[in-house]
Structure 1
Amino acid sequence: MKKAAARKPAAAPVAADPRFAHGPLAVVDADENRQVVAYCVGGLVLDVPARSLPALVEWTLREARLGAPKLHGSGKDADPLLVLTEAALERYGLPVTLAEPERLAGRLPDGHKVLQQLERAKWRLTKRGFGPWARIYRPAQGGRRQCVQLCIPSWNALDARSWGHAAELPPMELAHLLGTYARRVMTPRGSTAVTGLELMTALNPPTRASEPDGTGRRHKEHRPGSLGEEPMDCAPCEVPDGHPMLADLPRFHQRGPAEMLFEEAYDWARELTDEECMKRFLVGIDVNLAFGAAANGAVVGLATPPVHVTAPAFDPTLPGAWLVDLSHVDLSRVVVGKQWRRLEGELLPSPFTPTGERPTGPAWYATPTVAYAVELGYDVAPLEAWVRPEKGKFLDGWYKRLRNAYVDTMGDLGVAEKLPPQEFLASMDGYKQRDPQMAIVLDAIKSTVKGGIGKLRERARGGKPGQPWPALSRPTWRPDIRAVVISRARVNMHRKMISLAAATGQYPVAILSDCAVYAADGPSPLDVLPYDADGKTVPGSFRLGVSPGMVKHEGTQTVLWGEEVREQYSPNLNLARYIKTGEVTAQDDGE
């Protein structure tokens, strides 16, 4: 096998580590003469001498110099990623698209000739088999991993919901796009959701090397601040419906709020008041990277199981789930900025339920939700709790990396940090058209945040009730951590809304997750958010800007539009869902 030859020099050094001099990944393509080349990050194109898939894997590990250094001193280097084009698939005997049975199974059938080639060459596949994100490996030797990951766009590896039209890009452009994501986030390990979850472990590994023992040898030991290597049992109230822990419940039993922790994002709307109907516009504002901002500083349980306590005193510093009655919290009289304030409570959603409805009795809540009730000026008396004394800010490094990836990519699109409100709004006008590829990277980063948080509570797909879920075998199956993040996101949103209401008398008319809609006299967010001549706005409320936790303009429609679509479809239609485009389809009828 001859050495890989560079077709043209790289535009710039890709990696400081000589082992990964050609970057984290390559897009493998074949021309009309069946000659195979690898397009690497930075403009480098390598000749690929491999004539079979096993030979391609061997070449990648021995000669391609692909991969990426570990993100934490106790972590692992990233395995090289090969993205196979349709021409490369044909060259190596793989189908361009999966047939219906294989597509439903998500993998090639056992016995396929390429799988036989890999087996003869003593290469193995993970339990997922050979699917859109296949991992091909041999057991590590001498502490050195032997693993290559494949990404197959024509098998829907690059889901359009996260990656837009990336799968249709020419090889060199696709290498640049995925390379940018890999450099700013990490080498993709699967879907953006899977990558978001893997990034948590890469930045906060479960183990580390011990101090040398009496013979000078080091051993693997638990790393403080991590989730550990073993899966964690959760409290009964924390698990979703269908979990094996609930196998003994009667069939068709519906758990209520006193049985199940239900921390979810907002989906709430109300009728406009007569005064709001006299305004001309509905203006939507959207919180940037809301779940990422909520993860920043979140105190979560770590590597020990929850402890059950009865009639506990509430401790806002202790992560856990609390059974407590918050129905006495009256939003017409709350503490805002350390002072009691009178508000139009009926115009605000409850901060304690995703529907915005006021709770009617005891329910399970994550610590941030109960702490917010105390912040609003009300006493709480939990009946019982599942608490986690071993705690830490597990997600801080994850947030910081994704925050920097998001802000840097927005900068590439011409939206800088710390712009005055008017300049920020102007820079956001058409920002995705300035560089469509960077716009795809941006969407992938946002999907990584949202999907990574969602994966913490991944449910089984299909299967029978009571059967084990594959996701339960991993330490990062942690619905309690997801609950903390979503609780903080919803509470953060509510805190900003009551600060704005107390200062200006403006109340939201609809909220969907991280988007809030207000009635206004003008079409701009500046007609909702008051800014003075010095660029300062209401303390504790929404602020325009690019950083996570700040807000951007989601869209504007007329009040007349809002009234018409509700009359046509449903009086309960959540206008925040359609504020961006104004388009409501017939399938949304009955919202």
Structure 2
Amino acid sequence: MSELFDRVDALIASRATLPPPSERKRLRQAHGFTLDEVAQALQVRRATVGGWESGRTEPRPPERDAYARLLAKLAELYPAEAGADVRTPASARVQDEATPETPVPATVTATETRTPSPEPAPDPSPEHTSRATSEQNTGHPSRTASPPARSRPPSTTEQTSTGTAAGTPSSRRPAVQKAAPAGTTADGDDSRFENGPLAVVDVQDGQVYAYCVGGLVLDVPAKSIPALVDWTLREARLGQPKLSGPGKDADPLLVLTEAALKRYGLPVALTDEERRAGRIPENHKVVRHLARSEWKLTKRGFGPWARIYRPAQGAERACVQLCIPSWHALDSRHWGQAAQLPAAALAQVLGLYATRVMTPRGSTAVTGLELMTAFHPPTRASAPDKDGKRHSEHNPGSLGRDPVDCAPCEAPDGHPLLKDLPRFHVRGPGEKLFEEACDWARPLTDDECMRRNLVGIDVNMAFAAGANGLIVGLGAPTHVERPRFDPKLPGSWLVDLSHVDLSRVKVAKDKWVELDGDLLPSPFTPKGERPEGPAWYATPTVAYAVELGYDVHPVEAWVRPDNGRYLDSWYQRLRDAYLATMADLGVTADLAPEEFLTAMDGYRDRDPQLALVVSAVKATVKGGLGKLRERPRGEGWRPGEPWRALSRPTWRPDIRAAVISRTRINLHRKIVKHAAFTGQYPIAVLSDCVVYATDGTSPLDFLPYRDGKPLPGGFKLGVNPGLVKWEGTQSVLWGEGVREQFDAPELNLARYIKDGTVTDIDNGE
């Protein structure tokens, strides 16, 4: 019986009432406690207590009841001033993660009529990418482990966090504290978007609810899709302020659950034909109803990511985006099982992503591309002319509003620039820029075969780090014959690098080292083979040859004199989103190497919903860069004909090539530094993963740390983009066995090092 009592006590403790985050901080500071002192007393990390005080995270048992006891004692010593709001936040009244029930929401009603912010109408083109979006200045939503709990209806006299009394909803938001995003101020609220960037629309017991970030739930009176769009624009107060001065505010996003689809007359799933078309038919009753109500759809139609708008009335803008998870709007490769989350939980996941990155505009790839444009809109308002009028003009630092042709060497196969080539002509390295991630492996040496294990390390956010500080072209290319190479001039260079010998390279000013070049991949080809003659390279690749100590003499080049650090803000936004979410999961940038490895162990299991956001942020990086060279997808396209993506100013294969080039070179530089210092060489490299043979099982068994400090210019363990983490460990016997089984002595083991599962031999991604 005592065990039963203990479980009951533990259950009560798990719901220990806590004051709001701001009050927690006030009480600690009132008694003169530091974060370190509280953390030490509760046996948690300093950052964990900071997260509780900022509202990013909530304590869980057994720390929760101890923390509640501490705050209760401090509250007795330092009572709040009269009139101060110290109500228990909604996030403290949650159900545990194991509860499968869908909550009954406590609702508020948006009663004020709100006119949408004045903006121009959206371009109906399906590839329209010039509108900017922004983070919600109201801050990050308070993260909870699960959606609000199903509870008994409060009595008519009971005060609630979402209204004055049960049965009397009000426009007051729940008492959920929010941490402001990086770069914003505490008073940076925008009342136009006070309910956040998005809402998940669901139906329970016949009532339609809109679940917003921070635990807010709104009653939705709309009976049809046109009415829902109108309600969103006039009353819901959803959206986000712009990210940059010349940009535009983000349109509100509504996510429709299966119950909401049924309620509004939409199919729960698309047929095979509709899925291939990417939309429901134009004669569908909902589409016809929208047309009768004078709402329009973009050329993409009513699909998983539908945009519903009305043409501009003067400067006034009216546009709402829909996301339909059951139509596969949330790709499981990037969003995991987010589409299966309850409405409240899905609102928190998407809301956190929207707050830290931007309101999703489609897939993570589309959103990654849109984020670039959000920081650098193509146009801006000019200074007033003599009549006091402003005009639209080019926004310096942007890619402009009109697409530019790439250089012939940068054009992918099938591009209109290549339409005059013979039908079956295969372009070689002297005709085609081929900057791709490294995919290289070699047989083990006799000494490496005597080692016990193969240990893989992986570069965090490698392609994001490759974009940081990179100078890229902003305009059209200029052709130059016999140019002098300039490492600061972005472009594509035809140059012979076959003379670069990795057996003798420069690793510092006037410092040359001798290496075993046969054990290193060439940095100049994706497969790590030494080039045989002139080939096209992006600027970072040629600059690396010079850095290694070799002269270069380009034959010709396509350079871009109009250039700039176009991707810096994009990188910083995604870096901050990644680091903030990893910190919420307990992995911070200030950890020592051993602590970092421990923190990374099982970090996804600490909060699976936060882990979904991490995955989506990473996919936003890779997908956004991939969109810079989007290829034709069906549509009856034939080689030599243009495809949709070419009409975008953000179709820039040269920028993609430059980022990949720099990412590959960054990794190779670390490999060379490591080999020069330790005599250790990789046995496999795949994109951002490197595998070494060693007797130990951890990266610390072969990375040359001295007194906790890494090799300068080499690999360093840590969470920041560009630093490395442990990818996986397998035995040398496993590696040799796999290669022997498939009769592939140079099988790239980096592809399978994570868990040892070999599913398909070297077939790419």
Q: Pick the TM interval, shorter chain.
A: over 0.9
Q: Say yes or no: does 1:480 pair with 2:654.
A: yes
- Count the aligned residue pairs: 587
Residue type of the alignment partner of 1:478: R
Please say if residues 203 and 259 of structure 2, whose CA atoms lie closer than 8 Å, have aligned partners that are also in contact: yes
Q: For residue 28 of structure 1, what is the amino acid of its counterpart?
A: V
Indicate conservation of the 8 Å contact 1:68/1:78, yes or no: yes
Instruction: Choose the corresponding residue for 1:330, options 485, 498, 501.
Output: 501
Assess if the C-alpha contact under 8 Å between 1:8 and 1:43 holds in 2: no
1:573 to 747, 751, 754: 747
- The one-letter code sitting in structure 2 at the alignment partner of 1:572 is E
1:532 equivalent in alignment to 2:706:
yes
SS at match of 1:251: coil
In structure 1, the partner of 2:583 is: 411
Please state if 1:311 is matched with 2:311. Answer: no
- Structure-1 residue corresponding to 2:173: 9
Contact 1:333 1:341 in 2 (8 A): yes
SS in structure 2 at match of 1:580: coil
Identity of aligned residues (%): 71
For the 8 Å contact 2:110–2:219, the answer to whether it is kept is: no
Residue 265 of structure 2 is aligned to residue 157 of structure 1: no
Q: CA deviation at 1:144?
A: 2.6
Aligned pair partner of 1:24 in 192, 197, 215: 197
Describe the shift of the 1:567–1:447 C-alpha distance in structure 2 as closer, same or farther (beyond 3 A): same
The answer as to 2:233 corresponding to 1:233 is no
Deviating beyond 4 angstroms after TM superposition, the runs of 4 or more aligned structure 1 residues are 4-8
**By how many angstroms is 1:537 displaced?**
1.7
- The 1-side partners of 2:381 and 2:336 are apart by 41
Instruction: After TM superposition, give the deviation of residue 589 of structure 1 in Å.
Output: 7.2
Residue equivalent to 1:451: 623
**Helix, strand or coil: the match of 2:236?**
coil
1:537 is matched by which residue type in structure 2? Answer: P
What SS is found at the alignment partner of 2:254? strand
Letter in 1 for 2:349: L
For 1:102, the aligned partner's letter is: E
Higher mean C-alpha deviation, range 63-72 or range 134-143: 134-143
Q: Is residue 215 of structure 1 aligned with residue 323 of structure 2?
A: no
Trace 1:343-492 onto structure 2 (pairs within 5 A). Answer: 343-462=515-634, 463-492=637-666
Distance 2:317 2:628 in 1: 27
Structure 1: gaps of 5 or more residues: none
Match in the other structure for 1:174: 346
Q: Which residue of the partner structure matches residue 98 of structure 1?
A: 270
Give the whole-Å Cα distance in 1 for the aligned partners of 2:704 and 2:252: 50
1:7 Cα deviation from its structure 2 partner: 8.8
Bigger mean CA deviation after superposition, 136-145 or 573-582 = 136-145
1:413 partner amino acid: L
CA distance in 2, matches of 1:204, 1:274: 54
Residue aligned with 2:214, SS: coil
Question: How far, CA to CA, are the matches of 1:497 and 1:205 in structure 2?
Answer: 38
Match of 2:39 in 1: none
Q: Are the equivalent residues in 2 in contact too, given 1:247–1:466 (CA < 8 A)?
A: yes
Q: Distance in 1 between matches of 2:304 and 2:404?
A: 29
Q: In 1, Cα distance between the equivalents of 2:602 and 2:190? A: 38
Please tell me whether the aligned partners of residues 195 and 448 of structure 1 are also in contact (alpha carbons under 8 angstroms).
yes
Alpha-carbon distance, 1:12 to partner: 3.0
CA–CA distance in structure 1, aligned partners of residues 624 and 174 of structure 2: 33
Q: Distance in 2 between matches of 1:537 and 1:258?
A: 40
Q: 1:407, 1:19 → 2: CA distance?
A: 29
Q: Does the 8 A contact of 1:2 with 1:49 survive in 2?
A: no
SS of 2:693's equivalent in the other structure is strand
Q: Read off the aligned partner of 2:504 and give its amino acid letter.
A: R
* Higher RCO (CA-CA < 8 Å; seq separation 6+): 1
Cα RMSD, aligned residues only: 1.4
Q: Check whether the contact 1:516–1:576 (CA below 8 A) recurs between aligned residues.
A: yes
> In structure 2, what is the Cα distance between the partners aligned to 1:390 and 1:9?
49
TM-score, with normalisation over the residues of structure 1? 0.97
Matches within 5 A, 1:74-85: 74-85=246-257
Structure 1 letter corresponding to 2:209: V
Task: Tell me which structure has the larger Cα radius of gyration.
Answer: 2
Output the TM-score relative to the length of structure 2.
Answer: 0.76
Structure 1 residue 553 corresponds to structure 2 residue 748: no
Per-residue deviation at 1:207? 1.3
Q: Counterpart in 1 of 2:44?
A: none
- Does 2:217 correspond to 1:36? no
Contact 2:111 2:171 in 1 (8 A): no
- Deviations along 1:118-142, one digit per CA (max 9) or x if unpaired, are 0001111111111100000011223
Residue 2 of structure 1 and its aligned partner are, at CA, apart by 8.7
> Which one-letter code corresponds to 2:752 in the other structure?
Y
Instruction: Return the alpha-carbon distance in structure 2 between the equivalents of residues 149 and 299 of structure 1.
Output: 34
- Residue 134 of structure 1 aligns to a residue whose secondary structure is strand
Closer/same/farther in 2, CA of residues 8 and 167 from structure 1, 3 Å limit: farther
CA distance in 2, matches of 1:119, 1:157: 23
Output the amino acid matched with 1:327: S
Contiguous gaps of at least 5 residues in structure 2: 1-108, 113-168, 179-187
Amino acid at match of 1:552: K
Looking at structure 1, the residues matched to 422 and 535 of structure 2 have their Cα atoms a distance apart, in angstroms, of 21
Counterpart CA distance in 2 for 1:197 and 1:9 is 33
C-alpha deviation, 1:10, in angstroms: 2.6
Cα displacement (A) at 1:588: 2.3
Helix, strand or coil for the counterpart of 2:700? helix
Partners in 2 of 1:402 and 1:2 — Cα distance?
A: 33
Opposite residue 687 of structure 2, the aligned amino acid is S
Secondary structure of 1:363's aligned partner: strand
